[in-house]
Amino acid sequence: MTAVIPIHADAGCTDSPVLMERGQREVFCGLTGIIWLHRKMQDAFFLVVGSRTCAHLIQSAAGVMIFAEPRFATAILDERDLAGLADAQDELDRVVKRLLERRPDIRLLFLVGSCPSEVIKLDLSRAAARLSQEFMPQVRVLNYSGSGIETTFTQGEDACLAALVPVLPISTQQHEPELLIVGALADVVEDQFSRLFTAMGVKRFAFFPSRSSTALPAVGPQTRVLLAQPFLGDTAKALESRGATRVPAPFPLGAEGSAAWMQAAGSAMGLSADAVEQAIAPARQRAETALAAHRASLAGKSIFFFPDSQLEVPLARFLARELGMRLTEVGSPYLHRQHLAEELAWLPTGTQLSEGQDVEKQLDRCRAAQPDMVVCGLGLANPLEAEGFTTKWSIELVFTPIQGFEQAGDLAGLFTRPLTRRTLLAA
């Protein structure tokens, strides 16, 4: 028996028009992705080649105590580098050697490009290849760009994982499918998914990125890619170029989304829908029970999404279908129609979708709509709060474990708490 996800191609917002905007943006750059990637990849180190502004951004976003020793740092480009008075490649080699002497636990080193390094045309790919040749097999050196010139903050993860794909081992599996769950997940979420996949009867599955760079998952024609995050377009494309096949599915947010995601995984692995449902039923019931209390607070409330993380469409689907919220506008930095096909089909018909941003025009639309809640970046939250709007920081939805059944209630709570706070302040 084959699992069928209850989505109709002609439903929802599959063919809805999208408002395309290409004006001023208010977003973090891709360097911010280091904050959750360095926690996930426990023997990796992220060396940003950038300015003091880059260093301050990452330190502030991470909230790292001064006494902590995190797995990221910034090789600061100073005036001598920018003026061409010093050989930036030699300077970078010197910094990397000092770093590896101090931190012998590093097994994977990422050289992360920034706006300054790209402006002066510093070739980090050549540096990574040279350094990797010098330090392998002890340390592998790769590079990717976290520059904010072209990217939003979640695309940093996409660029990082895409850079890892070429070094993944070749799968020797010839006949039976292997499931590869792609996207950085909190360890607690990964462990929960592992237990559910095992209960379903999935024998071969792995997560990418893995917790250790010495245990990278293999990939090949039998690999079935299940995306856990909606912002991994380049990574998915790179995996498909290695012969893998992407599994169409909504994303695992809420009880309904998580169940459909699990059913898609089971179908790709040849399992029956009944077997999958039996395995996930207790967790799904717990999620639905947890959501019921939040629905009473959120049903009927309106919400407006500014584009920031690319999580906007799956979050909007969750809030509309499972919590009864009204969507006034759902903006996203980039709308990947193929990866979001199942999500778009589940959105209420007539939902206003926008891609990209012209921040002043979007602020005008938000003020006109007067939503009960606004999801936006940090740069817009305080000004909107000053105008009387209730806001939710979109970056918190990336830093917080929100995927899966056990996190469904916590995800809903991220939206009920701002309204509760507003009520208490008004009283």
Cβ atoms < 10 Å from Cβ of 216: 18
Q: Give the pair of three-digit tokens for residue 328.
A: 């006034």
Residue 29 assigned to a binding site: yes
d(C-alpha 28, C-alpha 306), whole Å:
13
Are 325 and 302 spatial neighbours (Cβ–Cβ below 8 Å)? Answer: yes
Residue 13 assigned to a binding site: no
Comparing C-alpha atoms, which of 377, 379, 356 is closest to residue 23? 356
Residue 54 assigned to a binding site: yes
Q: Give the pair of three-digit tokens for residue 283.
A: 């967790």
Query: Which residues make Cβ contacts (< 8 Å) with residue 190, sequence separation at least 6?
Result: 181, 207
d(C-alpha 312, C-alpha 391), whole Å:
14
Encoded amino acid at 227, one letter: L
C-alpha distances (whole Å) from 194 to each of 59, 266, 350 are 32, 13, 37
Residue 99: exposed, middle, or buried by beta-carbon count in 10 A (0-12, 13-18, 19+)?
middle
**Residues flagged as binding site:** 29, 54, 115
**Residues flagged as binding site for [4Fe-4S] cluster:** 29, 54, 115
